Amino acid sequence: MAIVLGLPKGSLQESTFALFKRAGFNVSCSSRSYIPSIDDDEIKCRLLRPQEMSRYVELGLLDAGICGYDWVYENGSDVEEICELNYSKATSNPVRWVLAVPNDSKIKTVKDLQGKRISTEAIGLTKRYLKKHGVKADVEFSWGATEVKAPELVDAIVDLTETGSSLRANNLRIVDTILTSTTRFIANKKSWKNSAKRAKLEQLKMLLTGALEAQRRVLLKCNAPEKTLDKIVKVMPALHAPTVNRLHGGDWYAVESVVEERMVRDLIPRLTKNGATGIIELPLNKIIF
Amino acid sequence: MAIVLGLPKGSLQESTFALFKRAGFNVSCSSRSYIPSIDDDEIKCRLLRPQEMSRYVELGLLDAGICGYDWVYENGSDVEEICELNYSKATSNPVRWVLAVPNDSKIKTVKDLQGKRISTEAIGLTKRYLKKHGVKADVEFSWGATEVKAPELVDAIVDLTETGSSLRANNLRIVDTILTSTTRFIANKKSWKNSAKRAKLEQLKMLLTGALEAQRRVLLKCNAPEKTLDKIVKVMPALHAPTVNRLHGGDWYAVESVVEERMVRDLIPRLTKNGATGIIELPLNKIIF
Amino acid sequence: MAIVLGLPKGSLQESTFALFKRAGFNVSCSSRSYIPSIDDDEIKCRLLRPQEMSRYVELGLLDAGICGYDWVYENGSDVEEICELNYSKATSNPVRWVLAVPNDSKIKTVKDLQGKRISTEAIGLTKRYLKKHGVKADVEFSWGATEVKAPELVDAIVDLTETGSSLRANNLRIVDTILTSTTRFIANKKSWKNSAKRAKLEQLKMLLTGALEAQRRVLLKCNAPEKTLDKIVKVMPALHAPTVNRLHGGDWYAVESVVEERMVRDLIPRLTKNGATGIIELPLNKIIF
Amino acid sequence: MAIVLGLPKGSLQESTFALFKRAGFNVSCSSRSYIPSIDDDEIKCRLLRPQEMSRYVELGLLDAGICGYDWVYENGSDVEEICELNYSKATSNPVRWVLAVPNDSKIKTVKDLQGKRISTEAIGLTKRYLKKHGVKADVEFSWGATEVKAPELVDAIVDLTETGSSLRANNLRIVDTILTSTTRFIANKKSWKNSAKRAKLEQLKMLLTGALEAQRRVLLKCNAPEKTLDKIVKVMPALHAPTVNRLHGGDWYAVESVVEERMVRDLIPRLTKNGATGIIELPLNKIIF
Amino acid sequence: MAIVLGLPKGSLQESTFALFKRAGFNVSCSSRSYIPSIDDDEIKCRLLRPQEMSRYVELGLLDAGICGYDWVYENGSDVEEICELNYSKATSNPVRWVLAVPNDSKIKTVKDLQGKRISTEAIGLTKRYLKKHGVKADVEFSWGATEVKAPELVDAIVDLTETGSSLRANNLRIVDTILTSTTRFIANKKSWKNSAKRAKLEQLKMLLTGALEAQRRVLLKCNAPEKTLDKIVKVMPALHAPTVNRLHGGDWYAVESVVEERMVRDLIPRLTKNGATGIIELPLNKIIF
Amino acid sequence: MAIVLGLPKGSLQESTFALFKRAGFNVSCSSRSYIPSIDDDEIKCRLLRPQEMSRYVELGLLDAGICGYDWVYENGSDVEEICELNYSKATSNPVRWVLAVPNDSKIKTVKDLQGKRISTEAIGLTKRYLKKHGVKADVEFSWGATEVKAPELVDAIVDLTETGSSLRANNLRIVDTILTSTTRFIANKKSWKNSAKRAKLEQLKMLLTGALEAQRRVLLKCNAPEKTLDKIVKVMPALHAPTVNRLHGGDWYAVESVVEERMVRDLIPRLTKNGATGIIELPLNKIIF
C-alpha cells in the first residue's frame, strides 16, 4: 500500500526535488508531466499548485503534501501538520503576506481601508483580516502582478513578499503584516491515524529534516595536543559533545564535531589559538541526532 | 487629452505590439514594466492581464482595452464593443471554452454532472452554464494545469482550447462547447460617448483593422495583352475591381489588384493560362477599403 | 486525391518551410513530429532525412520529395527530376563531395589511393568513383566527423563541403571534386505520369521557383522626364521590358521594372545620371515571368 | 583597387550589417573574426571598436569608416566627414556625453568641479571641456560601469547617455551636456581626393542614405474620383508631388506617393474623408530622390 | 610511452568526462575539437563515435576505448573486454536493441518478417538475428528517426530503447529483444599483452570502477552505546565489516561503514531504534575495496 | 566597524563568489548591481573592474581588494600585499603579459621595436618595459581585440595570455614575456596597520586560503593490518603525518590523511599493494594546517 504525496509545482519544485534527493529519494519529472516518478514503491507522487494542495489533502485525494502554511490558512483546510520544512527558493526566511499602499497614500492603518478597493490573490485571508478589524472594503481577485495595480486601479494590495524589494521597486509602503508563513509537511487526518501510512510519513519526516539539517552543518575535524584538549573540546559548539579519540602512538587526540556552517569562520581562529592543527571541514548529506 | 488604453499582458502581448507596429504605432515596454511607451501623445498604455481588462474598462479606469470576449463574458462587464480584432498567438481560429471529461468517463452530457466536482479558471462562465441546464455541481477554482486534474481530483473540467491537442494528450473528451471567443477592442461606455475620445478610438479601429487585413492580402500585378484583358480582369477576385492602366506605346495593359494571399496559388496558374505575363506579388502594410 | 510530399529533415528544414511560406503554403511541424501540417488539402507532407528521400520516392511511398542531387546519385534512384531549387542553408553555391587528404600526405591523385583506407558517409558514391579510376581501396562508413579522421585513423576522406573552411581548419587538402550537387524537386515516375498528380506538381514547381526568383529580385520604380525616357529605359536591365506609363498632366513618365537585387547598387547611379528622380525599390514575394 | 572600410564592432555591429543589407551589400562575419566578408570586390571590410576608428582612418590604414562623432572628437582626428548616418541600436535620437553628479551633491555647475575627481571613458573630451571653463580637476580613466562610481569613488562622472534612464537608476543628476553625437561616415582625406575611391564612397553614401530614408517611409497608393482628385493630391505630403495616373475606362485616378510612415496614421482618415478608396501601404527598401 | 584512449563522442561524452574527473583525471575538450586534453602524460585521448570505437581498437589505432557492447557486437570486433562500466546518460539500466512493429501489425514473431522491409541503424546485428531464425527480409540502413518509419515506409524496425517510452509514443509494440548492452572498457589485444600498457589500463580500471562505486555509496557514521553496540554493528550492511572505535572517556563507540545510498532510508530508522545517536552521512569520491 | 572590500567584476567574479562560499561567506549580487550583499556585518563589498582595484585601495576608498598583480604593477599602486590567491577562471596557471608580433615579422627582439607602433591595454607596463630596454616606440591604447591588430594596424602588441591559443589562432609569435601575474589579496597600508581591520583581514586570509587548499586536496582513509601498518604510513604523503587509530577488537588500524587530489591515482595502487583495504576518498570544504 502506497501513500499519495503532493509535491509543489512551481517555484518550490526544483528545491523540493533536490531536498528529496539529499534525503535519499530520486524524484524526476519530464517537463510537461504532473506525475513524477520516485524510486520508492511505497510512495506515489503528484505535482500540484501549492494553492490547491491542502484542499485535496483534506478531501483525502492525497495522503500528504508539501505547501506553504499561507495556503492551508487561505483555504481553511482541516489537515494534520506533520512538521515545518524550513527551505524555500531563495533564502530560509519565512514569507509574509502584507497589506501595502502607495508611498504617498493617506492610508496609515487597516481602519483607513473602509470603502476602498483592494486587490489580492488571497481573497479568504484578506476578508478574514478585514472582518477581524471591523472594516468593510471591496476585495478583488488579482490574476497576477498585484504590486503594479496601486494606486491606478486599486487603493491597496495584499501581497506576498520575501525581502520587500519588489514592493519598494513599485513605490509601495507596508501598512501591516497579515500572515507569516513557512513551508509545511501536512497529512490527511485519516491517513495520519492509519499506522502503516503513519510509519511511512514518519520515515519521510526523519529523512527530510535530516537532509535539511545537514545543509546548514558541516563536520569539523582537528588534531588536539593532550595539554589543550579540554580547551579545544570546550570551544567546539555544545549541542552534541565532540567525538574524541586518542591517536595511536602519541599524546594527540582526534576531535570531531558537527557544527553549524556559519559558525566555522569564527571557530577556526579560536581552535588554532588553542593549539589545534590539521583542521579540516567536510560536507554532510544527512544528520539525525 | 489622452485616452488610457489597456493592452493584454501575456501570450497576446508580443502579437499585440506587432499589430500596433504595423498599424503605425511604436509600442515598447521593458520586461519588468507594466507601462509601455507609445509614440502618440494622445494615447497612454497600460499592460493588464486579459482576465481583468473588462473590469477596469467598465469602471472607467481605462478608456478602452483589448482582450478576449470570454473574459468580458466571465466578468459580466457592461462595456462597448468597438470591433473584433481577428488575431491570436498561433492561428486565426477562435478559442473555445469546453466541458471535458476523461475518455472513459460515464459523463455523456451536461445533465450527468449533477453532484459532481468541476475544476475551471472560469467560475462565472461555468456556473451560468450549469444554471441554464438546471444542473447542480461543485465548481472549484483552478490555479492552473486544469487539464491534468481529471479524473484523479475532479470529475470534469471547463477549459480553454484552440486545437484540442492538449486535451487529447491528457486523454480527455469534449462533451460540450460552452463559449467561442475571439479578441475584441472594447471601450468604456462613457468614453465612447465623448466625441474627442471617440474620434481617437475610431482612428485606432481603422488602422488596426487595416493592418490586420493587410496581413492576409497581397498586391498582385501583371501585364495583360489587349485581346485577353477582359478575361484576365474577370479572373481577378471581385471584392474591388482591379486597377487597369494602358501601357505606353503598345497594346498591353498593367493590371493590379489586392487579393487574398491564400488564393494566389490558384490564381497564378489561371492568369498565365489567359496570357498574363510578368506576374509579381508584393507584400502590404495596410489596407483601407 | 492528395500527393504525398517528402520534405528534408535537418539543416534544410527551416529554409524549406520558409520557401513554402513565400510560395503561399503554410507548413508547420511541432519539434518532435515527422508529419508536418500544410494548409492545402491536396498535399500530405512527411519529414525525412535527405539521405533516404529518393529511395522512398522511387518505391512510390512518396509521390515527390525535395533533396540534394548527391543522395539521388548515392542511392542510384530511378526518379523524375522536376526542377532544380536553388537554395540551401547558407549560400546559393552548390555543395561538393570532395576527396581530401592531410596537407602533408603523399597522395596527389586518385591513383595514389590504391590499398589505402578511406572514410566517408557516401559509400556508393566513393566506390563508383574508385571503380571508374580502376583503384582498389578500403572504403569505411563514417558515422560523422569524417574530417577529423585523417591521418590518424584513415588515409583519405570523401566528404561534403560548401566553402572548404572546415577542411582547411582540419589541415586537409582537396585532391579531386567527385560530385557537385544542388537541391532538386523529384517525383516518382508513375506519379509524374498521373495527370492529376502532375498538375499539382507543376503548380508547386511554378510557385516554388516563383518564390525563389523573387528573393533575388526587387521592383524598381522611378520617374523619367520625356527627353531622357529612352535612355532610362535602355539602362534598365533587359530580361523583360520595363513598364512605362505616362503620368497625368505633364511630360513625365513612370518607369518600373523587376531587376536583380545585386544589380541595383550599380543601376541607381546610372539612373540618376540620366535624370531619373523619385527612385524607389520595393521587395517582392513572387515572380512568374 | 578596393577601398578598406572600417565597420563598428559592438553595439552598432548588428544594425550596421542590417543597414548594408538594405543598401544592397551582404556583409557577414563569423562570431570570432574581425574580417567580415562583403559581396563587392571593390570593398574590403574590417571590424574595429568605434573608439579607434577615426585614428586609423586618419593614418590611412582605413580609407573610410563608420563611427560616432564623439570618438572623432575625443581622438581629435583630422578626417573628412562624408555624411551623417542617422541610425543607432535603439532609437534614432543622438547620444549625449553629459557631466553628472549624485542627486544630493553640492556640485551645481562645472565651476564647482575645481579640485574634484572625475571618472570617464573620454579623457580628452573631459579635459578639453574643463580647460574651456578654466577648471582644474583630477580626470581618471574609467574601465567601465562609470555610473556606479559616484559618490563613493569619485565626485562626478562624464558618461554617455541615450535616454537618461541608467543615470536616473543610479541616482545621478545631469549638470551639463558636453557633446551631442550621431553616427558618421568618415573618410581619410587623401582617399577622398582620389577620384576612383571617391566614386566608390559616393556610391556607398547614396545607397546607405537611400536605405535609411526608406526605413522611415512607405509607398501609399489610393484611387481617387475625378471630382476630388485635386483635394486628395493636396492632402498628400509635399516633398515630392504624388504620381497621378488616369485609370483605364472611367473617371478614376490612381494616386501614389512616398510618405513618412509616422504621418500615415493621420493621413488615412483625411484621405477617406475626401473620397479616396482602396488605400494600400507598401514597404520600401530604398529611396533616392 | 603513452596509451591512446578512445572516449565516446555524443550522448555519453559529458558523463564520461565527469566519471574521469571523479576518478582523478581532468579531461577537457573545446566544443569543436576531437582531441581532448588530459592531465596525465601517459594517456592520449581521442573522441570517436561509439559506433566506430571497436573497429579502431581492433586495428590497434587506439590502445583502448569506451563504448557500448552493442557496437562491439555489431562490428564483430575482436577486442579484449577489460570491464563493464555501469553508467549511462540517464539511468543505470542497460539499453536494449529490440524488434518493434506498429501496435496493430499482424507481425507477432520474428517468423512473420519473411519478405518484409526492416529499417535499422544496426544492419549487422539485424541480419545475424534474421539468419539465426532462418528468415529472409529486406534490411535497410536508417539515417535516423527509425521509430517514425513504421508502418508508412517499412514493416518493422530494430532500434535502441532504454525505457520504451519513445516506442510507445510512436504506437510501436516490442516483438523481441535482440541484444541487451551496457558500456564497456575495451582494449586492443596486443596492447593488453604489453606489460607497461596493461599496468596503465589496470590503474584506469581500478580508478574508474572505484569512482563508479562511490557514486552509489555513502559513508555512514554514528555513535553507539556499549550495550547495543553488537546490534548496531549487525544492522550495518555486511559487505565490509563496520569500523568500530572506542571513544575517549566513556562507554560509547564510533561506528562507521560504507553503505549503499539507496539503503540509508531504511537503515536510519533501524539504527535509531537500536540506540544509535549522532548519525551522519557523508558523500564519497572513490571506493577501492 | 566594517571593512570595505573590493571584489573583481568580470571574468573572475563567479569564481570569486564561489571561493567566498567555500570559505564560509555567502556573497550574492543581482546582475545589474555593483554592491554585493554578504552575510557578515563586518564586511561591505563593492564590485570593481580589476584594472581599477589597486587605485582605489591605495587611495583608501577600499580597505582591501582582490585583483591581479599585473594591474597593481600597471597602476604603480603603493599597497600591502596580504597573500597570493591561486585561482583563476580556467586553470591555476599564472597569466602572462607578452610582447607578440606576426609570425612572419622581422621583429626578433625588443630592440627591433624602435620607431614601431604597439597596441596594448597596459600602456604603463609597456612604456616601462621599453624604457628599461632603451627603445622608443609609439604605444597606443587598445580598446579591445588587441590580437587582431597586427600586422594591419600596428607592428606589435602587448597582450595577456593564459595558454597562448588565442595568439596562435591569430598567427602571432611571442617575442618576450614582460610580466607573469597571479591573483592577489591586497590592502590599504593604513587599514593594514589598524588592529581591528587587520584581524578581520587575517581571518579572511586564513579562510580563503583554507578553502583554496581544500579544493586541491581530499581526505583518504583506509584500513591497515598491523604487519604492514608502517609501510602504509610511509606511503602516505609526508606534509602532515597520517592520523592512525587502532580499531576495536582486532589487529587493524584506521589510517587517514589529507593528500593532494592529483596524487591519489598513483597512491591507491601503492596502498593496495601494501595490504590496505577499504580505501575511501572524501571531498573537503576547508583545510587549515
pLDDT digits (tens, 9 = 90+) for C172-189: 999 999 999 999 999 999
Nearest to A218 among F40, F206, F285 (CB): F285
pLDDT of residue D289: 77
Residue B245 class from Cβ within 10 Å (0-12 exposed, 13-18 middle, 19+ buried)? buried
* F288–A265 CB contact, under 8 Å: no
Residue F81 has pLDDT above 80, yes or no: yes
C-alpha closest to that of A1 among A47, A30, A44: A44
* A240–E278 CB contact, under 8 Å: yes
Section F147-157 average pLDDT: 93
* D280–B214 CB contact, under 8 Å: yes
C-alpha closest to that of F59 among D153, C170, E61, B233: D153
User: Which subunits count as partners of chain C given 3+ CB pairs below 8 Å?
Assistant: B, D, E
Query: How do E80-84 and E183-187 pair as beta strands?
Result: antiparallel
* C284–B279 CB contact, under 8 Å: no
Cell of D33: 573574426
Q: Do chains F and E touch (3 or more CB pairs under 8 A)?
A: yes
Amino acid at F93: N
* B46–A152 CB contact, under 8 Å: yes
pLDDT-wise least confident of D236-240, D283-287, F77-81, F132-136: D236-240
Residues β-bridged to residue C260? C217
Which residues of chain B make contact with D267, given a CB cutoff of 8 A?
none
Chain E nearest C-alpha distance from C208 (Å): 26
- What's the half-sphere exposure (Cβ side, CA atoms, 13 Å) at B214? 25
Euclidean distance between CA atoms D18 and C172, whole angstroms = 34
* Closest residue on chain E to F245 (Cα): E245
* B283–C288 CB contact, under 8 Å: no
Euclidean distance between CA atoms E211 and D80, whole angstroms = 68
pLDDT of residue A239: 55
Chain A nearest C-alpha distance from F96 (Å): 34
Euclidean distance between CA atoms B27 and B20, whole angstroms = 7
Question: Where are the strands (E) in A121-276, listed by range?
Answer: 138-141, 156-161, 172-181, 183-187, 217-225, 243-246, 252-260
pTM for the complete prediction?
Answer: 0.86
* B153–A34 CB contact, under 8 Å: no
At E179 the three-state DSSP class reads strand
Helices E264-273 and A195-215, axial angle in degrees (round to 10): 100
Euclidean distance between CA atoms F78 and E99, whole angstroms = 75
φ, ψ for residue F150, nearest 5 deg: -95, 140
Enter the DSSP assignment of E155: S
- pLDDT grade, residue A106 (50/70/90)? very high
Euclidean distance between CA atoms E8 and E15, whole angstroms = 10
Residue F279 has pLDDT above 60, yes or no: yes
Distance set, CA B268 to CA B228, B271, B275, C284, E115 (Å): 15, 5, 11, 15, 47
Residue A227 has pLDDT above 80, yes or no: yes
Q: Which residues of chain F have a Cβ shorter than 8 Å from any chain E Cβ?
A: 218, 223, 245, 247-249, 254, 261-262, 264-265, 268-269, 272, 277-283
Task: List strands edge to edge, sheet with B217-225.
Answer: B243-246, B252-260, B217-225, B277-283, C286-288
* Nearby residues of B243 by Cβ (< 8 Å), 6 or more positions away: B255, B256, B257, D223, D247, D254, D278
Percent residues over pLDDT 90 in chain F: 79
pLDDT of residue E73: 97
Residues β-bridged to residue E281? A286, E220
pLDDT of residue B124: 95
Residue A101 has pLDDT above 70, yes or no: yes
Cell of D268: 488615412
Residues β-bridged to residue E102? E172
Beta carbons of D57 and D190 less than 8 angstroms apart: no
Section C101-116 average pLDDT: 96
pLDDT-wise least confident of A92-101, D148-157, D231-240, E84-93: E84-93
Euclidean distance between CA atoms F98 and F159, whole angstroms = 6
Distance set, CA A166 to CA A172, B28, B33, B177 (Å): 9, 22, 12, 41
pLDDT of residue F242: 85
Give the helix/strand (H/E) hosting C115: none
Section A262-281 average pLDDT: 93
Residue that is written with C-alpha cell 587582431 in the block? F148
Euclidean distance between CA atoms F258 and D228, whole angstroms = 96
Euclidean distance between CA atoms F128 and C203, whole angstroms = 75
* Closest residue on chain A to F202 (Cα): A269
* E9–C148 CB contact, under 8 Å: no
pLDDT-wise least confident of D276-280, E243-247, F19-23: E243-247
Q: Which residues of chain A have a Cβ shorter than 8 Å from any chain E Cβ?
A: 23-25, 39-40, 203, 206-207, 210, 214, 219, 240, 243-246, 253, 258, 282-289
Chain A nearest C-alpha distance from F98 (Å): 40
Interface test with E, best of F166, F215, F281 (most E CBs within 10 A): F281
C-alpha closest to that of F257 among F229, F285, F238: F238
C-alpha closest to that of C95 among C175, C159, C176, C160: C160
Which residues of chain C make contact with B164, given a CB cutoff of 8 A?
none
Residues β-bridged to residue F125? none
The tens digit of pLDDT for each residue in E122-152 reads 999 999 999 999 999 999 999 988 999 999 9
| Centroid of chain to Cα F197 | 23
Distance set, CA B228 to CA B233, B237, B238, C242, C288 (Å): 9, 16, 17, 20, 18
pLDDT of residue A242: 85
- Rounded to two decimals, the ipTM of the complex is 0.86
Residue B242 has pLDDT above 90, yes or no: no
Residue A26 has pLDDT above 80, yes or no: yes
Residue E165 has pLDDT above 90, yes or no: no
Distance in Å from the first CA to the final CA of chain C: 29
Euclidean distance between CA atoms E99 and E110, whole angstroms = 8
What's the mean per-residue pLDDT of chain E?
A: 92
Q: Is the dihedral of CA F5, F10, F11, F15 positive or negative?
A: positive
Euclidean distance between CA atoms B205 and E158, whole angstroms = 59
At F38 the three-state DSSP class reads strand
Q: DSSP states of E111-148 as a string?
A: GGGTT-EEEES-HHHHHHHHHHTT---EEEE--S-GGG
Nearest to B219 among D262, D272, D282 (CB): D282
C-alpha closest to that of B222 among B169, B178, B273, B284: B273
- pLDDT grade, residue E162 (50/70/90)? confident
Section E75-89 average pLDDT: 89
Beta carbons of A263 and A235 less than 8 angstroms apart: no
Q: Which residues of chain B have a Cβ shorter than 8 Å from any chain C Cβ?
A: 218, 223, 245, 247-249, 254, 261-262, 264-265, 268-269, 272, 277-283
C-alpha closest to that of E28 among D160, F165, F122, B185: F165
Q: Do chains E and D touch (3 or more CB pairs under 8 A)?
A: no
* Closest residue on chain C to B275 (Cα): C289
Cell of C193: 505520369
pLDDT of residue C160: 94
Euclidean distance between CA atoms E219 and E217, whole angstroms = 7
Chain A nearest C-alpha distance from B254 (Å): 55
pLDDT of residue E1: 74
Chain D nearest C-alpha distance from B284 (Å): 5
Cis previous bond, D151, omega within 30:
yes
pLDDT-wise least confident of A231-235, B221-225, C127-131, E242-246: E242-246
What's the mean per-residue pLDDT of chain C?
A: 92
Nearest to D248 among B39, B207, B244 (CB): B244
Euclidean distance between CA atoms E153 and E119, whole angstroms = 9
Nearest to E285 among F223, F269, F283 (CB): F283
